[in-house]
A and B are shown apart, each in its own frame.
Chain A
Amino acid sequence: MFNPVWKTPLETQLKDWQNAPNAGITISEWPASAYFMVRGIGIAQSMCQALGISSWPETPLTAVSENGIRVLWLSPDEWAVIGDFAQKDALEAKLLQGLGSHRGQVVDNCGGFTGLIVKGKDAEILLRHLTPYDVEHMTAGKTVGTVMSQTHVILSRLGAQEYEIIVRRSFADYLWKLIGKAARPYGLAVA
């Protein structure tokens, strides 16, 4: 009888965007995703076991991508775990299993965040307009929590010309508008 519909925060905005010709930047939004915040102390080993992955990022500003899930280091006792939306409940169960009796928490935040994949020859300079973080010296694979104008984001460099910005749902439209303005000299297209 009910047919629930999930909407990502920027679905409409991206659909309505008029692509610039010869765009130096292309952007896409994550599909609906499983997104958990995991906090705890001494949980690396048990998390690896529970999730079936070989390592858990304990080095600051690093990330692990394995077995269909990504784990981003956010703080010495906090990580973001991102996976397939369809496997959300199973992932939560595994995370709770991984946490076990350790001090910590597993927080379902799949409604709370979205991610933008920013690609192209002008992706780096676009980010330099948006954030005071040292994007020029950011190596591929690095993940940092920083600011873009007045919103907090988690910024990752995925490749030579590819970045990811994770932002809170309620700030997503604001960030999208900032991106639209900053991208004017370079041209922006939705992938």
Chain B
Amino acid sequence: MLYIYCPYCREYRPEEEFHYAGEAFIERPKDADNISDEAWGDYVFFRKNPKGIAWEQWCHGAGCRKFFIVKRDSVTYEILATYTMEEGKAAWLKEQQENAA
């Protein structure tokens, strides 16, 4: 059972208080009506499911009801960091840039 640091309540809480809410940073296509079936299908159905570092959304449903970002190792289950939505997005973009460089 995971022990998750809620970035809003600012303390560790047991997994029972949370639920997983899917891969993070999947953006809904802005011009949904005019994109291809394939592009729309990718958005609706396809997920990365990485072995290793995963960026995830979790919701502190029994606590502050906030959705937040968890950077987690899908192999060891170690949580490397948790972030508010905004902080998480910034950290993720920074990591992407670093990886690209």
User: Which residue numbers of A lie inside 8 Å of B, CB to CB?
Assistant: 60-61, 74-76, 78, 132-134, 144-147, 152
Cross-chain pairs A/B with CB under 8 angstroms, 14 sampled:
A60-B8, A60-B10, A60-B64, A74-B64, A74-B65, A75-B63, A75-B65, A145-B60, A145-B62, A145-B63, A145-B65, A146-B17, A147-B62, A152-B61
Check B13 for interface membership: any CB of A closer than 8 A.
yes
B12: A residues at CB distance < 8 A: 134
> In the complex the two chains form, is B16's CB within 8 Å of A147's CB?
yes
**How many residue-residue contacts, CB under 8 A, span A and B?**
47
Cβ-neighbour of B9 out of A132, A144, A152 (below 8 A)? A144
> In the complex the two chains form, is B16's CB within 8 Å of A132's CB?
yes
Cβ-neighbour of B13 out of A74, A146, A152 (below 8 A)? A146
A146 to B11, CA, bound (A): 12
A146: B residues at CB distance < 8 A: 13, 17, 62-63
A145 to B13, CA, bound (A): 10
A133: B residues at CB distance < 8 A: 13-14, 17
1/0 per residue, CB under 8 A from A, across B50-81: the answer is 00000000001111111000000000000000
> In the complex the two chains form, is A61's CB within 8 Å of B65's CB?
no
A60: B residues at CB distance < 8 A: 8-11, 64
A144-B63, A145-B64, A146-B63 as given contacts; A75 in contact with B8, CB under 8 Å: yes
Main secondary structure of the interface of B (DSSP, over half): loop
> In the complex the two chains form, is B14's CB within 8 Å of A132's CB?
yes
Main secondary structure of the interface of A (DSSP, over half): strand
A123 to B23, CA, bound (A): 40
Nearest opposing residue in chain B for A39, CB measure: B65
Q: Please report which residues of chain B, range 8-50, place their CB below 8 angstroms from some CB of chain A when the two chains form the complex.
A: 8-14, 16-17
A60 to B60, CA, bound (A): 14
Nearest opposing residue in chain B for A74, CB measure: B64
A60 to B65, CA, bound (A): 13
9 cross-chain pairs, A with B, having the tightest CB-CB distances, nearest first: A75-B64, A132-B14, A145-B63, A152-B62, A147-B62, A60-B10, A147-B16, A60-B9, A132-B16
A74-B64, A75-B64, A75-B66 as given contacts; A145 in contact with B17, CB under 8 Å: yes
Closest CB in chain A relative to B21 CB, distance in Å: 16
A168 to B77, CA, bound (A): 33
